[in-house]
Structure 1
Amino acid sequence: MTMRINGAEISEAAIFAEMQYHPAATVAEAQRLASEALAVKELLAQEALSRGFGDGAEAIDALLAAAVPLAMPSDAACRSFYESQADRFRSNDLIEGEHILIAADPEDEEARAAAKLKAEGLLAQIQADPSRFADLAREHSDCPSKANGGNLGQITRGATVPEFETYLFSLEEGELCPVPVPSRYGFHIARLRHRAKGRTLPFEHVREQIADYLSEQTWRQDVSRFIAALAAAADLDGVELGSQEGSAAGPIANQA
């Protein structure tokens, strides 16, 4: 498993040591990724030395700064990206929800069954008289929100557990979920009180973020091409470096 890059040997021990930084589904895949990473580093180190930048990580940084300068995209390119990816720049929906939690240990099947049965009974009462939601929450809910009649306040996606959130965010304003919602905590009776739709952020607010993103993407592609050119001109023994765009940049771009 020893490699040679333009005659410079990279030992099997070095490859095994590098594998810890490249977790993969199989040992063979981790070895391949580690070998590529070390080969790329050696190629860049050799090129840095040949161009008079010396050796070490700083030399590789100096080489890339000189050979692959970071370019900022034009305003037109940023605006084009903004218009084609509008959903990326939309603020989150904000909702106000309420629930009644009947708690049950997820590992206790008997308790889960009893909690579900109780939740179904409470749900039927609320369906018959929606005005009873708050009173039933205060009396039966196992969540601290019971003090507020089950009101959870304003929440965005990610603020609650996914299994509960999926149901709550799918409801219309004023709609009561027709079934108890199971979660790791038990069963929820859920109702959506209010929804405020997110809005698209103005271009001026995200222009710098877009420019940084596009610049980084372009730099990574340029680094890939630079490394591919070095690999094409090199004498590689024991390793193959993919020539497709983006295949070689990863090992070094993540560190630069």
Structure 2
Amino acid sequence: MEIKPLLPPVTVNGVTLDPGRIADEAQNHPAPHGKPGHAWKSAARALAVRELLLQQAKAAKLDADPTEIAPGQWETEDEAMIRQLLDQTLTPAAADETEMRAIYDAHPERFCAPSLFEAAHILFPAAPDDKEARALARKVAVDVLTQVTADPRRFAGLALKHSACPSKSNGGVLGQLSSGDTVPEFEATLASMEEGQFSLCESRYGIHIIRLDARANGAILPFETVLPQLAEAHDKAAWLRASRDYVDGLVSAADISGIDLKP
């Protein structure tokens, strides 16, 4: 019988992490195929950092003041102490409007209102993991696509006959669509099409024949409109950088064994 080596105990400034907690936490860390130890290491790192932050919060004599993070859902005392510690300790770089303006001016095309589409489709259902069903759905879809390309007037009738979408009773018409109204695969296909064009699209639901009836490309938004969005993105990135630097400093000064936390 093969004897598996025991995992080393993980200690943070003399405090040994409970192996059971690491095992439980590992369930929240997906592991690449063939690397079962990856989840354990990720979990051990996460709990070691958590322990470091809690030690700092206790040294600062913080009293936990949990807040409601969602209706009926409150922070734990440990989560509250870590949040309070970071709120008191971190000083992220403030957003600078000149810098935001430079980002906007470099690529204004990135800041457009959502494009609008009017489209119809015929859905041939097939589960993503059913290769045989998807191959059959694609074969039927290609045949139907040939028919509607030859005679677009048949689209509504073929939608009623073949489509698994409730829109079939309306000739497959989906009405006006905007960003986020459909799955990303469908939306990407729409964005690549010209008005009046038919196209095949493969999504998590199966194979679609899409007909694009009209499109209105979103206009570039003025800087004043996107400034709050830019500032929010900057603030999130700045907070992440500041927290990473703070944790790196704690790690450098800590006595940690059993797991490598060095940046």
Fold match, TM over 0.5?
yes
- Identity among equivalent pairs (%): 32
Per the TM alignment, residue 238 of structure 1 is displaced from its structure 2 partner at its CA by 1.0
Q: Which residue of 2 aligns with 1:43?
A: 52
Counterpart of 2:245 (choices 210, 225, 237) is 225
Q: Which residue of 2 aligns with 1:212?
A: 232
Q: Please say if residues 24 and 30 of structure 1, whose CA atoms lie closer than 8 Å, have aligned partners that are also in contact.
A: yes
Counterpart of 1:181 (choices 200, 204, 208) is 200
Q: Which residue of 2 aligns with 1:241?
A: 261
Aligned length: 229
Q: Please say if residues 72 and 212 of structure 1, whose CA atoms lie closer than 8 Å, have aligned partners that are also in contact.
A: no
Tell me, in whole angstroms, the C-alpha distance in 2 between the residues paired with 1:197 and 1:60: 45
Gap runs ≥5 in structure 1: 127-132, 244-256
Matches within 5 A, 1:51-130: 51-53=60-62, 56-98=78-120, 101=122, 106=126, 107=133, 113=139, 116-117=142-143, 119-124=145-150, 126=151
Aligned-residue CA RMSD (Å) = 3.3
Amino acid aligned to 1:13: G
Q: Please say if residues 119 and 187 of structure 1, whose CA atoms lie closer than 8 Å, have aligned partners that are also in contact.
A: no
CA distance 1:163–1:2, shift in 2 (3 Å): closer
Q: Please say if residues 172 and 192 of structure 1, whose CA atoms lie closer than 8 Å, have aligned partners that are also in contact.
A: yes
Q: Please say if residues 86 and 200 of structure 1, whose CA atoms lie closer than 8 Å, have aligned partners that are also in contact.
A: yes
DSSP-derived class of the 1:18 partner:
helix
Per the TM alignment, residue 185 of structure 1 is displaced from its structure 2 partner at its CA by 5.8
Q: Please say if residues 57 and 81 of structure 2, whose CA atoms lie closer than 8 Å, have aligned partners that are also in contact.
A: yes
Q: Which residue of 2 aligns with 1:196?
A: 216
CA distance 1:166–1:220, shift in 2 (3 Å): closer
Amino acid aligned to 1:97: A
Tell me, in whole angstroms, the C-alpha distance in 1 between the residues paired with 2:137 and 2:51: 61
Per the TM alignment, residue 22 of structure 1 is displaced from its structure 2 partner at its CA by 2.0
Tell me, in whole angstroms, the C-alpha distance in 2 between the residues paired with 1:67 and 1:110: 59
Q: Which residue of 2 aligns with 1:29?
A: 38
- Higher alpha-carbon deviation: 60-69 or 28-37: 60-69
Q: Which residue of 2 aligns with 1:246?
A: none
CA distance 1:197–1:13, shift in 2 (3 Å): same
Tell me, in whole angstroms, the C-alpha distance in 1 between the residues paired with 2:103 and 2:239: 17
Tell me, in whole angstroms, the C-alpha distance in 1 between the residues paired with 2:176 and 2:200: 19
Per the TM alignment, residue 51 of structure 1 is displaced from its structure 2 partner at its CA by 2.5
CA distance 1:15–1:166, shift in 2 (3 Å): closer
Per the TM alignment, residue 118 of structure 1 is displaced from its structure 2 partner at its CA by 5.0
1:153 matched to 2:172: no
DSSP-derived class of the 1:221 partner:
helix
Q: Please say if residues 137 and 206 of structure 2, whose CA atoms lie closer than 8 Å, have aligned partners that are also in contact.
A: no
DSSP-derived class of the 1:194 partner:
strand
Q: Please say if residues 82 and 203 of structure 1, whose CA atoms lie closer than 8 Å, have aligned partners that are also in contact.
A: yes
Per the TM alignment, residue 58 of structure 1 is displaced from its structure 2 partner at its CA by 2.8
DSSP-derived class of the 1:97 partner:
strand
Counterpart of 2:19 (choices 12, 19, 36) is 12
CA distance 1:196–1:231, shift in 2 (3 Å): same
Gap runs ≥5 in structure 2: 1-7, 65-77, 127-132
Q: Please say if residues 105 and 112 of structure 1, whose CA atoms lie closer than 8 Å, have aligned partners that are also in contact.
A: no
Whose Rg is larger? 1
TM-score (normalised: structure 2): 0.70
Query: Greater helix percent: which structure?
Result: 1
TM-score (normalised: structure 1): 0.72
Q: Please say if residues 116 and 187 of structure 1, whose CA atoms lie closer than 8 Å, have aligned partners that are also in contact.
A: no
DSSP-derived class of the 2:85 partner:
helix
Tell me, in whole angstroms, the C-alpha distance in 2 between the residues paired with 1:10 and 1:32: 13
- Higher alpha-carbon deviation: 80-89 or 37-46: 80-89
Amino acid aligned to 2:229: Q
Q: Deviations over 1:156-215 (max 9, x none)?
A: 3554566665555433334x44xx736566663x54333211112222222122212111
- Higher alpha-carbon deviation: 147-156 or 228-237: 147-156
Amino acid aligned to 1:223: S
Q: Please say if residues 134 and 207 of structure 2, whose CA atoms lie closer than 8 Å, have aligned partners that are also in contact.
A: no
